Amino acid sequence: METRNTGSIARRMMIIAAVWIVVLLAIGGFALDRALTQLLSQQFDEQLELPLTAMISSAEIDPYGDVWFNRPLADQRFLEPNSGFYYQINGNGAVNYFSRSLWDRTLAIDENVDAENPVFYDSDQFPDESLRLVQRTVQIPGSDTRWQFVVAGSREELDSQLNSIRALLGWSFAVLGVGLFLMAVAQTWYGLSPLRRIRRAIASIRQAGSNRVTEPLPLEVQPMVQELNALLDHSQKQAEEARTHAGNLAHALKTPLTVLNNAARAHDPGLDDIVLREAASMQRQVDHHLARARAVGRRASGHSRSVVMDSASAVERAVRTLYPEVRLDVAGNSAAAVSLERQDLDELLGNLIENAAKYGGGSVFVTVDPRPVDPLCAIWIEDDGTGIPEEKRVSIFERGARLDTEKPGTGLGLAIVRDVAGIYGGEVSLGESEDLGGLLVELRLPRA
């Protein structure tokens, strides 16, 4: 089945970077444009206000009641027709006084402005020329008229400067945006390079047979690599468990098949009974190993919970039926629960308790959870038999290992107990019983 993908991480990162670059540059460009426009406009207004102040300071009233300047203005643009720099003085009932640069035109000033402080505003009264005006109302000594002093300047130079600055800003921000986007692309490519290295490492695992990712990687992806290595270890462990399981099953079936082959070649008259007996033995082995295989699958769920005392009591009743002469006692923490499926716990306790009853001297003690503070729940199975020598307490767990060959069995009991317990994260060990003097089997399983 093809795995669905949710798009490219690199594409997402570049789209996010591009959007943020555009948004931030747009905001920055707008703010910078406003700041520069305000600065240039302020400088232009100051250039208009300077001659206005000079006009007011040099203005006087002549004997006829009209305004005149006691000294000429320094700016020669007021003398050049249509120079783009003009002034005009209006007074109620008086003759307007205006610069030569206006020639045959007149400034249409705002009559509603009557302020002693300079007032700036724009005007489009000349079709071919946009103006910026500064206007101020002044009371000249010796006159009762309130005079309107106005200086106007063409906005052509100001607009040209603003257009040049905006063009420069546009190109600069465009180059900056492209540069930032290329940097984001490079950052994305370099930042995601560890993922490409992980992909190559995984390909090497598949092709070259490596079982871990050992290449040094950044801290951000190291947890993912650790989880990947843990998954690889888990898979390798499962494969090893599968091989062990297959070996156990093969070993268990080998002896019955050999018996059947020998009986068939020898034309044994009791072949029917032999076939039935060995077939039953093989069926038990198959069922046994199928249960173990199911334990591997059930372990993956991680939600198993079984009460130890319930399983021990059920096994006790079954063993009493098989070995009525054996004294069997079960005691301990009745509330102890372990993280195993009930049938797997029955399998473990059944093997251990049945072995104690079969090979012991007639007494079996089962103690559930003798140390409740331990992280693992311990289960003690003790008998009064001869026990197992210390030097053989490790080899007895191998497949087919048996100390007492006179009694029926396959030699798989302890090996299966060890394997199934290990599947769930538990362990089993052998010791000497202090109370009964025989064998002490300690089964330790994870608590639920």
The per-residue pLDDT for range 207-252, each reduced to its tens digit, is 766 677 777 777 777 777 788 788 878 777 777 777 776 777 777 7
Q: Which residue has the tokens 């406009």?
A: 41
Tell me, what's the pLDDT at 141?
A: 84
For the chain, what is the radius of gyration of the CA atoms? 51
Tell me, what's the pLDDT at 296?
A: 62
Q: 437 in the Ramachandran plot: left (φ > 0), alpha (ψ -120 to 50) or beta?
A: left
Q: Which residues of the chain have pLDDT under 70?
A: 1-3, 5, 93, 208-210, 245, 284, 287-289, 291-303, 393, 395, 397-413
- 335-377 pLDDT, tens digit per residue, is 999 988 888 888 889 889 998 888 888 899 999 988 888 999 9
Tell me, what's the pLDDT at 210?
A: 65
Question: What's the chain's average pLDDT?
Answer: 82
This prediction's pTM? 0.52
Q: 25 in the Ramachandran plot: left (φ > 0), alpha (ψ -120 to 50) or beta?
A: alpha
Tell me, what's the pLDDT at 402?
A: 44
Helices (H), 266-399: 271-299, 308-322, 342-359
Tell me, what's the pLDDT at 403?
A: 44
Q: Which residues contact 418 (CB under 8 A, 6 or more apart)?
A: 397, 427, 428
Residue 122's DSSP bridge partners are 132
- 318-338 pLDDT, tens digit per residue, is 888 888 898 999 999 999 999
Tell me, what's the pLDDT at 287?
A: 66
Q: Are strands 363-368 and 327-332 parallel, antiparallel or unpaired?
A: parallel
3-state SS of 382-442 is: EECCCCCCHHHCCHHHCCCCCCCCCCCCCCCHHHHHHHHHHHCCCEEEEEECCCCCCEEEE
